Amino acid sequence: MPRVRIKDAQIYYEVVGQGSPLVLTTGQGTGPQARAALIEGLARQHRVLVYDQRGTGRSEAVPQGQSMDELADDIVGLMDAAGFDQAHVLGISTGTGKATSLAARHPQRVQRLVLAAPWTHGDEELHILQNMRKAAARCLPPDHYVHFNALLIYPPEYRRAHAARFRALAEQALQSAQDAEGIAARLDAILRFDARPLYPRISCPTLVVGARDDLVMPFWFAEAAARAIAGARLATVEHGGHLFAETSSDEFLRLALPFLA
């Protein structure tokens, strides 16, 4: 699968599916079901560009902690490599910061925008949570950190239904040293980002989706983002946790696909 050099890093990407171009940008974390069902559903109607953020996964190992603007510029380079002059952009979790920056700073590249589980800025609640995650990454063994993160990100029913697979992820985490400083750098980049000055610059049709039981990016962020972006629609997922696009992918696709059609 292809890599492309953007600035100082080789970034892994692939394009799957048929239809109009769509960029999927996410955070690094994912659970036992990963995003396979989500990507499969999107790929039925779109050519979906997926990638590993610089410094993570199959991309080149480089220092992390880049700003959302820098990570959004990576998306521009990936779109160029894939031949996407313009595309719909779907951001999930940390990906909503990258997608917001992209839509505000490169409006000619974004047709429609979906922000799933966004945050508007590093408020007090988010600082408390992310600082706890940084401390946990430094203090907990890798397998315990997997379970700690799962408590924050996934609903109890989902964790119970996939308990064996979460155990497997925890065991897999023991196979390599935990990059606590890389985790901290990524979380600090989230806390530094302030989307509020960018929202008035977004001119494309926008759908904001939030879950009422999201512990990481509480629903008030989705409400505030939808109010601040001109003409934006707000859709609510009642249950699904922070990564509802993964845990409730069918429900999320029923919201996102008609908007992207």
pLDDT at 87: 98
- Taking the C-alpha atoms of residue 107 and residue 102, their distance in angstroms, rounded to an integer, is 7
pLDDT at 108: 98
89-101 pLDDT, tens digit per residue, is 999 999 999 999 9
- Mean pLDDT across the chain, nearest whole number? 94
Cβ-contact 21, 53 below 8 angstroms: no
Closest to 183 in 3D by CA, of 213, 139, 128: 139
First vs last Cα of the chain: how many Å apart? Answer: 28
pLDDT band at 29 (very low <50, low <70, confident <90, very high): low
- 3-class secondary structure, 21: strand
The tally of CA atoms less than 13 A away on the side-chain side of residue 41 is: 19
- Ramachandran quadrant class, 175 (left: phi over 0; alpha: psi -120 to 50; beta: rest): alpha
pLDDT band at 31 (very low <50, low <70, confident <90, very high): very low
Our CA dihedral for 126, 136, 183, 226, rounded to 10 degrees, sits at -20
- Taking the C-alpha atoms of residue 72 and residue 89, their distance in angstroms, rounded to an integer, is 11
116, two tokens: 């799933």
Mean of the pLDDT values across residues 185-200?
A: 97
- Taking the C-alpha atoms of residue 75 and residue 2, their distance in angstroms, rounded to an integer, is 15
pLDDT at 32: 45
Cβ-contact 132, 107 below 8 angstroms: no
Residue with tokens 């979790």: 93
44-90 pLDDT, tens digit per residue, is 999 999 999 888 888 888 888 899 999 999 999 999 999 999 999 99
pLDDT at 57: 82
Mean of the pLDDT values across residues 137-164?
A: 96
pLDDT band at 1 (very low <50, low <70, confident <90, very high): low
Rg (CA), the chain: 17
Query: Distance of CA 59 to CAs 54, 56, 89, 152, 200, Å?
Result: 6, 6, 21, 26, 33
Residue with more model confidence, 31 or 188: 188
Mean of the pLDDT values across residues 148-167?
A: 95
